[in-house]
A and B are shown apart, each in its own frame.
Chain A
């Protein structure tokens, strides 16, 4: 009991420490922003937009991409050979802007996002490959910022920010939004700095030759984005992370708790796969390997502690343990509650950055929803472990194969957080 408490406390404290990375000092916070672009456009971009049963949102996304202020970019929409509805939309959009928009058809037997991306990789002509999801709202200024970031830092990879915005639509979306906020605003920067980074699934930009050297994405992995990040990290590639609330890519949360659960299961299982693949063992530094191990198993530890800590407290109060032992079981609660306090501050900051009106009941919802949300995460983690060890490794989870799905499937292909 004592040992478990201390281990949990240590884990929670480390997580808290890293989560708060960007806000440690005003200087650290300043360093996480995109540098202001110098107005020069030196690089060319190939923007990949894989779309699957997403005819409803695809057109809008591509139209927004076309608004980009950058001079040199092409858009490659990737559709499956078995998905005529989306293909039709793609063709129609491509016809509006010949020479700028191309459509690539993915003929692979089993469809998933990494395979779709790999199908398009040979056609990319730009210096840099960028990935977006079909439902992303991309800021027109983004490419100019990324262009500058590549040149200013000499990086091989630039990860931009992604943010869920619809915090008000359900009880869990608030937590989901804040998770993204903390991940992109803060935690990823720490990873970039330490030289081990699980990349996000979109708004990620990689130099084309780097990507080709790495043989593109892993078509069998459920978290291809994370996997790519790990492989590039272990090859010593430089990753720059930059966040600017003005140019983040906006997304929506999954449409239901079930969708959230499945999305999370997939990420977790993907993390587990990446962990088992062992690419991270090639990282040069011991600290990096430790960070990798910790990050890839993180969702499981987090889920575990989210459940065990409250149970421990319940035992401490009702089982009449010796007072000293009982007090010790409360130690892990400290970082946990501190985390909640920071989430409250984070929610305020989130509202300010994105010009959203945060009301008192949102704060109340944040606090009340914390435990149920931890519960959802824990269930997702357990499901992931269960699926991985019973060999269920299909990409699209059962509910998302059908063509009727639009919104949940859209959200399924979000980023890793």
Chain B
């Protein structure tokens, strides 16, 4: 029975459960110390040699340059913002990346910018732990989830890089955490909706994991009197935060497609209809196949283990929410003819780690080894086999992440650009996006530092070069720039009509500073 409201008597929740709920450490701080300690350990591994491995990618440079544009009040991107992605992730990045740039001015900007990802990953790691606890897992299982996510070489590689997906998945995990709130507070659900909206506005593809949050809420609010209100709150939070993106476009007059301007709906049409697929994941030769291979190269354990766990989790009530996230992510990845982005796996990794931990605990419970000795034996054999397989595998992968120095050529090229070329303010330079920000920071005029894609794809940039490719003084040739010469004729022309003045790195994939030979016919 219940207590009436009175002015001087606080109404206690029925049963007084608030203090003893999982995920809300009150007196017992074991969870806090355990999760905090393990997170710190994983962060050290992440931070160690973060500048050297993996090799800086063009995408990282692009996001960092966009964050730079936001931080310096130059709009939402360093080129015309065309609604390719919602901007919230690099707006957040802008709030974080100024600090490393200030502290390490001579470091390759992408390498320095990666330090900004550490707080994001710290939060993500903690959220993995909290979600495990709130799903009803025991402490050791939650710790297993955190460690699986933190120590997997694939996660270690991807989480170091500046990807929008890391921001998005952090927010979606926050939404899931709030949806699983033990107090079932109305405003937690509203906040969950808001967090989910921020996740989607950080990276639009994150929306596919939304069903997991809904299922978690549905289960958590089951048999409660406030379920319709909870969903009302969630919907309000989601819609009212999410609406600001189309609203922004609307206020700028860029919501609907039209002549002479970019538009949100036009960009969506392109993303959904026109973007060519990257082939089937089962086709070794396709882009998707190669991408999956590269993920498997770093870590097959978390991928295969996670997928297997997903299948099991769908049949376990308390694991169904992350199970659905895993299922949807897997289905979208293997859909035929779709485009699979290189960083797609970032969205899946925390969910896979949670699933692995949850299913491991589930197996342990089913086995109930406390009863019989032979069950202990099975368990022991399973654990030893798993560790025997995982540990060497992960040791090799993690060790590589801690010692490899893949960014030396880029760093040397950046140093060269900063110190060796004369008349930087008057030089026109074509670079990839990794070096774009370094060049601008080194004193080259922003309009004269051209991201190589834009030469052929942005008419406004082409219009600035009255004499075509002959207006370019230098081109920095990198593996990213050389990747796709056939679709970019001006870049191809610059590469053939230029000579190397400096070259860094191995013969197979060097970074070359090339002077353009304007006299060539």
Q: Is B486 an interface residue (CB 8 A)?
A: no
The answer to whether B228 touches A33, judged by C-beta atoms less than 8 angstroms apart, is no
- Tell me, in angstroms, the Cα distance from A323 to B244 when the chains sit together: 11
Cβ–Cβ contact B232 & A24, under 8 A: no
Q: Which residue of B lies closest to A188 (CB)?
A: B5
Contact at A25–B1, with CB atoms within 8 Å? no
Q: Mark A209-227, 1 if CB is under 8 A from B, else 0.
A: 0000000000000000000
> C-beta contact mask, A323-359 vs B, less than 8 Å → 1, else 0?
1001100100110011001101100110000000000
Tell me if A121 is interfacial: C-beta within 8 Å of chain B.
Answer: no
B187 and A24 contacting across the interface, CB-CB below 8 Å: yes
Q: What are the residues of chain B within 8 A of A26 when measuring CB–CB? A: 184, 224-226
Q: Contact check, B7 vs A192: say whether CB atoms are below 8 A apart.
A: yes
How far apart are B201's CB and chain A's nearest CB, in angstroms?
Answer: 13
- Say whether B251 contacts A24, CB under 8 Å: no
Set of chain A residues within 8 Å of B232, measured between Cβ atoms: 341-342, 344-345
Report how far A14 CA is from B224 CA in the complex, Å. 25
**Cβ of A29 < 8 Å from any Cβ of B?**
yes
Q: Which residues of B sit under 8 angstroms from A240, Cβ to Cβ?
A: 4-6
Contact B6 A238 (CB under 8 A): yes
- A333 contacts which chain B residues (CB < 8 A)? 240
Min CB distance A210 to B, Å, is 14
Assess whether B236 is in contact with A338, with CB atoms less than 8 Å apart: yes
B2 at interface by CB-CB < 8 Å: yes
* Chain A residues with CB below 8 A from B190, complex form: 338
Q: Smallest distance from the beta carbon of B234 to chain A beta carbons, Å?
A: 10
Known pairs A323-B251, A326-B251; A192 contacts B236 (CB<8 A):
no
Provide the main secondary structure of the chain A interface. Answer: helix
**A31 interface hit (Cβ, 8 Å):** yes
Q: Which residues of A contact B395 (CB under 8 A)?
A: none
B258 sits at the interface (CB 8 A):
no
Contacts A155-B4, A192-B5 given: A29-B226 contact, CB under 8 Å? yes
A248 at the interface (CB under 8 A from B): no
Query: Among the listed stretches B8-16, B153-161, B441-449, B492-500, which one makes contact with chain A, having 4 or more residues with CB under 8 Å of it?
Result: B8-16
Contact B251 A241 (CB under 8 A): no
Instruction: Write out the residue numbers on chain A whose beta carbons fall within 8 Å of the beta carbon of B236.
Output: 334, 337-338, 341-342
For the complex, give the distance between the alpha carbons of A108 and B417 in Å: 96
Q: Assess whether A27 is in contact with B7, with CB atoms less than 8 Å apart.
A: no
Give every chain B residue within 8 A of A337 (Cβ-Cβ).
236, 239-240
Interface string of A24-60 (1 = CB under 8 A from B): 1111111111111000000000000000000000000
Near B by CB (< 8 A), chain A positions 231-245 give: 233, 238-242
Residues of A within 8 A of B318 (CB): none
Is there an interface contact between B11 and A238, defined as CB atoms closer than 8 Å? no
Q: Which residues of B contact A239 (CB under 8 A)?
A: 6-7
Judging by beta carbons under 8 Å apart, are B4 and A149 in contact? yes
Q: Is A35 touching B11 in the complex (CB atoms < 8 A)?
A: no
Tell me which residues across on chain B come within 8 A of A25, comparing CB atoms.
13, 183-186, 226
Q: For the complex formed, measure the closest distance between the CB of B240 and the CB atoms of chain A, giving whole angstroms.
A: 4
- In contact, B240 and A338 (Cβ under 8 angstroms): yes
* A195 cross-chain contacts in B, Cβ below 8 A: 7-8
B13→A27 contact, CB < 8 A: yes
Does A153 lie within 8 Å of B4, measured CB to CB?
yes
B235 contacts across to A, CB distance below 8 A: 341
Instruction: Determine the chain B residues whose CB is within 8 A of the CB of A30 once the complex forms.
Output: 2, 14, 225
Q: Is B229 part of the contact surface with A, judged by Cβ < 8 Å?
A: yes
User: A32 contacts which of B5, B7, B237 (Cβ < 8 Å)?
Assistant: B5
Q: Which of B11, B239, B244 contacts A330 (CB 8 A)?
A: B244
Q: Which of B6, B13, B224, B233 has the most CB of A within 10 A?
A: B6
Interface residues of A in 1-38 (CB under 8 A from B): 17, 20, 23-36
Q: How far is the CB of B322 from chain A (nearest CB, A)?
A: 24
Asked if B252 is at the interface of the complex by the 8 Å CB criterion, the answer is: yes
B344 vs chain A, min Cβ distance (A): 31
B2 and A334 contacting across the interface, CB-CB below 8 Å: no
How many Å lie between the Cα of A194 and that of B11 in the bound state? Answer: 12
The minimal Cβ–Cβ distance linking B508 to chain A, given in whole angstroms, is 47
Q: In whole angstroms, how far apart are the Cα atoms of A34 and B4 in the complex?
A: 7
| A189 proximal to B (CB < 8 A) | yes
The answer, yes or no, to whether B248 is at the interface (CB within 8 Å) is yes
Q: Is the CB of A31 within 8 A of B2?
A: yes
A125: Cβ under 8 A from any B Cβ? no
Determine whether B247 belongs to the interface, using a CB cutoff of 8 Å to chain A. Answer: yes
B11 x A345 contact (CB < 8 A): no
User: Is A316 in the interface zone, CB < 8 Å from B?
Assistant: yes
Q: Are A241 and B226 in contact (CB-based, < 8 A)? A: no
Q: A32-B2, A326-B251 are in contact. List 4 more A-B contacts (CB 8 A).
A: A31-B11, A34-B4, A153-B4, A192-B7
A-B contact pairs, 12 of them (CB 8 A): A24-B185, A26-B184, A35-B2, A152-B4, A193-B5, A193-B11, A323-B251, A327-B248, A330-B247, A337-B239, A338-B190, A342-B232
Residues of B near any A CB (own CB < 8 A): 1-8, 10-11, 13-14, 183-187, 190, 224-226, 228-229, 231-233, 235-237, 239-241, 243-244, 247-248, 251-252
Q: Which 7 A-B pairs have the closest CB atoms?
A: A195-B7, A27-B13, A338-B236, A345-B232, A334-B240, A23-B229, A31-B11
